[in-house]
Amino acid sequence: MRVTGGKVKGTRLKTLPRHSIRPTTSVVKQAIFSLLENSTTYWRQILDLFAGSGALGIEALSRGAEWVDFVDYRKNCCDLIRTNVNKIGEQERAHIYCCSVSKALTFLNRSYDIIFMDPPYSNFSANNLLVNLAKSKLLVENSTIVLCHANRFPLNSDYDGLHLVEQRRYGDTFIFIYQKEV
């Protein structure tokens, strides 16, 4: 897997064996960032939930994000993210939280411009997470949530000021983009 754009474009990132995580494909990653470049003004603060290898957050750092918080509960993924962030020389602009997403949402206290959510396809918590994020202080006006999902579990188009603005399908992966309106 490689970084698809920005200052470290082409850098190969380490991943775990395919059965351990489902890395976001280059096609899906390029689609996500193309959509964001056309709809999102601010890239300062990024949160990468269910980060896996850290590919989405690292892509954001490569494309000019000021800060990325990575969250994954698996120690091997946290170690992998650390390795990949160090590989691109951005360890001063990132923090890795090795805990569950639900726990991270209880203590994170920063406002984010973009939140990436790429849970395992068998994870049914996306709907509840969107409800919790919509009510949280992690989002400000025009914050964007990018959810990669298998569409096996129904999602709403609105969550307490969080509105679905774009939906795309790439094979088994559905990309849902929500924006916060105040």
Please indicate, yes or no, if residue 175 is contained in any of the structural domains.
yes
CA-to-CA separations, 113 to 39, 67, 157, in angstroms, rounded:
12, 10, 20
Please indicate, yes or no, if residue 14 is contained in any of the structural domains.
no
pTM of the full predicted structure?
0.92
Candidates 90, 114, 113; CA nearest to 8 is 90
- 19 confidence band (pLDDT: 50, 70, 90): low
CATH number for the domain harbouring residue 62 = 3.40.50.150
- If one compares 20 and 76, the residue with the highest pLDDT of the two is 76
Range of the domain at 100: 26-180
**Span 25-49, mean pLDDT?**
84
pLDDT at site 23: 64
Please indicate, yes or no, if residue 105 is contained in any of the structural domains.
yes
Overall domain count for the chain: 1
pLDDT at site 52: 92
Please indicate, yes or no, if residue 52 is contained in any of the structural domains.
yes
Whether the pLDDT of residue 85 is over 90: the answer is yes
Please indicate, yes or no, if residue 16 is contained in any of the structural domains.
no
- Average pLDDT over the chain reads 89
Please indicate, yes or no, if residue 133 is contained in any of the structural domains.
yes
pLDDT at site 39: 75
- Please give the Cα distance from 26 to 102 (Å, whole number): 28
Please indicate, yes or no, if residue 155 is contained in any of the structural domains.
yes
CA angle 64, 68, 73 (to 5 degrees): 150
pLDDT at site 154: 80
- Please give the Cα distance from 71 to 48 (Å, whole number): 6
Please indicate, yes or no, if residue 19 is contained in any of the structural domains.
no
pLDDT at site 22: 62
